[in-house]
Structure 1
Amino acid sequence: MVVQTLIDFERAPVFAIPTIDPVGGLTVREGMLIEGPQGWGEFSPLPHDGAPARWLTAAIEPGTVGWPDPVRGRVPIAVTVPAVDAARAHRIATDSTCRTAAVEVGAGPLAADIERVQAVRDALGPDGILRCDAKGRWDADSAVAAIVALDRAAGGLEFVAQPCPTLDELAQVRRRVEVPIAAAESIRDAADPMNVRLGDAADFCVLASGPLGGARRALRVAEACGLPCAVASTLETTIGLASGLALAGALPQLPFACELGTRGLLAGDVVADSRSLVVAGGYLPVAPMPPAPQRELLERYAVTEPARLAAWRARLQAAISTS
């Protein structure tokens, strides 16, 4: 790997930042920051992600080859509403300044999902746009019943992302509901995202920069899938979110608000407050490179437990060896 001569992987800091609410089952977001010759990137594969080498490619991209040229200077943002109670969901949506919301569903009883969606609709008003993200938690029959109920509760859904784990199930659901279906994990978790054949399984795609290997590679995935795309966060710090914004900024067409406003779901950040990617007026800016971390924040959120440090060093080495 040529970049080993340019990057000191041994000194990459390891961070752990608590979430304010559990998000997709996560209560702490951990990762490493990688400094390249031109800047910083984030290596933060999720706990059960089987392709850490792609995350490493994304992490070294901004500090080496850089991101693709943007075609827009800012990106519309959809607020991410985790699987929280209805009152908390209402507050998150109200405080977000966004006109689109992506509501997590499928983690508990359908009745709780319906209450959460209704609360977000109330917060956004009748002109707001709602979508749901089930993270592959339903079987086909359960998905159909839930989507019909959630669509009614929302007064109309923009789409539902990944209602089931497999493409065959997505296709079954898509044939049986009127709400559009988006593929997300089916693409980002695939052995070769470039060669995923969606067939009649999805109307749209939701891409994420980290698990797809960075903005440049994710752009090629978007072209290969041939469907309209949104971009989503994997709960990164500002340094990682900047990569998602680079992807959203470079997509030739961006018909959807992007789920990149997740900085507010973390209890802290690794960059200065003035550089932290906090949504304002429903948008976030596209930057040419991510900001650098602040030393005092790296110290505040540093992982110091030897076993956890060793696990992250091992995961990084595994990614390097397979790159």
Structure 2
Amino acid sequence: MGDSAIGGGAVATTRSRKSHTPGANIAFAALPADPREVFSRIAVLSLPMVTRFRGITTREAMLVEGPAGWAEFSPFVEYAVPEASRWLAAALEHACTEPPPPQVDAVPVNGTIPACPPGSVAEVAARYSGVCTFKIKVAEHGLDSLAEDCARIEALRTAAPGAQVRLDANGRYTVAEARTALRTFSRFELDYIEQPVMDVEDLARVRADVDRAGLGIRIAADESIRKASDPLRVAALGAADVIIVKVQPLGGVRAALNVIGASGLPAVVSSALDTSVGLSAGVALAASLPASARPGEGIPACGLGTSALFRSDVADPPLRAAGGVLPVGRVTPAEERLSALAAAPDRVRWWTDRLQRCWDHLRTSPH
């Protein structure tokens, strides 16, 4: 990235060489060749986690500061440039524009229980102050995990009596396995299960099976909602009762709102294991949900409490639920956190190169 790129330190402090404040609809082709023309500061961070989640114990993230404030670019390391570039589009939007006007001052959140031993559930749940809804990760090893999954649900029922429970299978079941698992899970009172199977057609089959069997479990689409065309297909096939939307994978708050509108389905805003900076963009989306996406009273509990999964976050204090809600507003990382969580030089170089490749993709690819 040139002469004064991030290089040997995890925090780069470079001043924009010109004012560049794109509007809500950013013209990617008009962006300068160097992202430092837009981002005045860039930081690459490594956040230790309290427990293994999504197969990792350390979360890497890049934070960028633009004309409107700080934003997050943190696609998971295995994502290729085309997919990761949507996450960069979200960072550009949040760093360079103000989000839509919020309709509320705070949004409710759910707690997230990873695929941890049942004996650890109470400790993890206790990290979510005032939260009345929890999402439990299941199916880590397909049906082989079923007994432990049920034990984890029972442990949460003991630790948080009366809490609403959601499950998330991350598409790990086959259709046949999903039928077996959902019949087993039906003895618990559940809000919904996210993505029991990966393929959208299979998701529609599972939802039809649930309806025929009268299991009373709603099906939510998460991994099936990754780009603008997805919600139309999910809705057309009747594959889900609820869609899970995340700001970074969908390319920003406004892109996510377009996805929600296209689906015509209730929506729950969730996190892509974001830092407090990224979570603030999710809160902005949740606070601007249209009434059509939130039937019933108020905004549904959002999966934005994941800062509790970090031993140390970028903000001081971190963006964590108090009384079960998160406040609406931007988050600015603490300088001492930027230093303390600085990634190793080789990881800084890796993320710097990734930023440039995704930036070039946004500038040169049709959208």
TM-score by length of 2: 0.81
Equivalent residue letter for 1:63: A
Larger radius of gyration: 2
Look up the match of 2:57: 27
* 1:114 maps onto 2:150 in alignment: yes
Between 229-238 and 193-202, report the one with greater CA deviation.
193-202
Look up the match of 1:301: 341
Equivalent residue letter for 2:224: S
Q: 2:355 aligns with which of 298, 316, 321?
A: 316
Between 208-217 and 90-99, report the one with greater CA deviation.
90-99
Q: Contact 2:127–2:308 at 8 Å: present in 1 too?
A: no
Q: Could you tell me how far apart the structure 2 residues matched to 1:195 and 1:14 are?
A: 36
Q: Could you tell me how far apart the structure 1 residues matched to 2:53 and 2:197 are?
A: 18
Counting aligned pairs with the same residue, the percent is: 37
Report 1:253-264 matches (<5 A): 253=291, 254=294, 255-264=299-308
CA deviation vs aligned residue, 1:49-81 (integer Å, no higher than 9, x gap): 341121111112222121111111111111011
Report 1:142-221 matches (<5 A): 142-152=177-187, 155-177=188-210, 178=215, 179-188=217-226, 190=227, 192-193=229-230, 196-198=233-235, 199-221=237-259
Look up the match of 1:280: 322
* 1:100 maps onto 2:100 in alignment: no
Q: Contact 1:181–1:203 at 8 Å: present in 2 too?
A: yes
Q: Could you tell me how far apart the structure 1 residues matched to 2:282 and 2:147 are?
A: 33
Report 1:52-67 matches (<5 A): 52-67=84-99
Matched residue count: 314
Between 165-174 and 1-10, report the one with greater CA deviation.
1-10
Q: 2:170 aligns with which of 135, 143, 154?
A: 135
The residue matched to 1:296 in structure 2 has which SS?
A: helix
Cα deviation for residue 305 of structure 1 reads 3.2
Report 1:5-44 matches (<5 A): 7-9=37-39, 12-44=42-74
Look up the match of 1:271: 315
Cα deviation for residue 169 of structure 1 reads 1.1
Q: 2:112 aligns with which of 60, 65, 80?
A: 80
Cα deviation for residue 116 of structure 1 reads 0.4
Cα deviation for residue 230 of structure 1 reads 0.3
Q: Contact 1:105–1:133 at 8 Å: present in 2 too?
A: yes
Cα deviation for residue 92 of structure 1 reads 2.1
Equivalent residue letter for 2:61: G
Q: Could you tell me how far apart the structure 2 residues matched to 1:44 and 1:168 are?
A: 29
Q: Contact 2:111–2:133 at 8 Å: present in 1 too?
A: yes
Q: Contact 2:40–2:65 at 8 Å: present in 1 too?
A: no
Q: Could you tell me how far apart the structure 1 residues matched to 2:325 and 2:267 are?
A: 17
**Stretches of structure 1 lacking an aligned partner (at least 5 in a row):** none
Q: Contact 1:180–1:202 at 8 Å: present in 2 too?
A: yes
Cα deviation for residue 9 of structure 1 reads 4.8
Query: Residue 291 and residue 222 in structure 1: after superposition, are their counterparts in 2 closer, same or farther (change >3 A)?
Result: same
* 1:123 maps onto 2:159 in alignment: yes
Q: Could you tell me how far apart the structure 2 residues matched to 1:194 and 1:148 are?
A: 27
Q: Could you tell me how far apart the structure 1 residues matched to 2:56 and 2:245 are?
A: 20
CA-based RMSD of the aligned residues comes to 1.8
